[in-house]
Amino acid sequence: MVFKRILVSMMTLLVAHFMSMAQVDSYTKPFKRAEAGERTFMARQSLLANIKAENIGPTIFNGRVSDIEVNPGDPTEFYVAYASGGLWYTHNNGTTFVPLFQQESVMTIGDIAVDWKSGIIYLGSGEQNSSRSSYAGNGVYKSTDKGKTWTHLGLDETHHISKIIIHPSDANIVWVAALGHLYSKNAERGVYKSANGGKTWTQTLFVNNETGASDLIISPIDNDVLYAAAWQRDKVSWHLLLRGRFRYLPKWRWRKYMDIGFRGRQRIC
C-alpha cells in the first residue's frame, strides 16, 4: 500500500509538471515567433544581406571567436583569438593556421592587441561574456616574438579582460579594460595603464567593486583621449542584473560622460 501511494504521488507530480511546462510553452511561443520574424526582417534589410560569408577555419572549433587582429599592410596575415580555444595565426589568408598560445596556464582569451611594427602582442585572458560558460583568465600576457613565447604580466584577479589598446607610437604604453570577477565583487576591475611594457600597472579608472570596463577606444585624433564603457553586473545563479555607464578620459583624468541608466534581467544561458 505504501509503495502504491508513493507511485501515485510521483505520477501526479509528473503530470502537474508537464502541464505547467505546456502552459509556459504556449505562452512564450507567440513571443518567440515574433522575435524570429524580426530577426528575419533585419537580416533581409542588412547591408550585408547579399554578401556570402565563408568559413576559413580553423577546421576544429574551440568555442567563440573573441577577437581578430589583421596586419594593415598585409590582410592575408592575421591572428584569431578564441574565447575558450587559444590563439591562432595565419599568413596565407586562413588556408592554414598555427596555434600559438599552447603552454600557458589558461586558454580563454578576451582580447589581443598587436604592434605589427615590432611583433609585440598583448593578450588579455578571460572572455568578456557573462554566461555560465564564460571562463575566467588570470591576467595579461605579452609576446615579443609574434607569439612564439609568452610572459605573464600580472593583473591575475581581473579574470575577464574586454579590451587591450597599445599606444599608436609607443608599444610600451598599453591600456587594459577589465570586467573583474563574474560571480563576486572585487576591486581589480576598471581600466589599467602601463608605461613600461606591462612591468607595472596603474589602475586609472575604478567605479566600484561591481562595475568593470566592458570596452575601450582611443581617439585617432588625440591619443591622450580614451573613451571607456563601464558595465555594472550583479550575477548569481538565478539572475543577472545589469547597469551601463559610459565614461571618457581627457588628458589622463576620467570624468563621467553619460549614464544610460538602464536596469534589466537577462535570461541565463
- 18 & 119 share domain: no
Assigned domain for 58 exists: no
Whose cell is 530577426? That residue is: 39
For residue 58, what pLDDT is reported? 63
**Residue partners of 137: CB distance under 8 A and separation at least 6:** 106, 108, 109, 110, 124, 125, 126, 127, 158, 159, 160, 161
Q: Containing domain of residue 96, as a range?
A: 65-265
Assigned domain for 135 exists: yes
For residue 268, what pLDDT is reported? 29
* In contact, 81 and 75? CB cutoff 8 Å: no
- 212 & 144 share domain: yes
φ/ψ bin of 56: left (φ > 0), alpha (ψ from -120 to 50), beta (otherwise): alpha
- 30 & 88 share domain: no
- 200 & 82 share domain: yes
- 10 & 82 share domain: no
Assigned domain for 123 exists: yes
Assigned domain for 60 exists: no
C-alpha span between 249 and 227 (Å, rounded): 6
For residue 114, what pLDDT is reported? 98
Residue 25: pLDDT above 60?
no
Convert the pLDDT of each residue in 170-215 to its tens digit: 999 999 999 999 888 999 999 999 999 999 999 999 999 999 999 9
Provide the grid cell at 128: 568578456
C-alpha span between 191 and 166 (Å, rounded): 13
Provide the grid cell at 245: 555607464
- 42 & 89 share domain: no
Parallel, antiparallel or unpaired: strands 202-205 and 211-218 = unpaired
For residue 243, what pLDDT is reported? 65
For residue 260, what pLDDT is reported? 45
For residue 46, what pLDDT is reported? 86
Assigned domain for 94 exists: yes
- 46 & 79 share domain: no
The CATH number of whichever domain residue 222 belongs to comes to 2.130.10.10
For residue 36, what pLDDT is reported? 66
Domain count, the chain: 2
For residue 267, what pLDDT is reported? 31
Residue 194 has phi, psi (to 5 degrees) of -125, 135
Assigned domain for 113 exists: yes
Lowest-confidence region among 74-78, 111-115, 150-154, 227-231: 227-231
- 29 & 74 share domain: no
- 193 & 76 share domain: yes
For residue 151, what pLDDT is reported? 95
For residue 244, what pLDDT is reported? 61
- 104 & 183 share domain: yes
- 49 & 8 share domain: yes
Residue 5: pLDDT above 90?
no
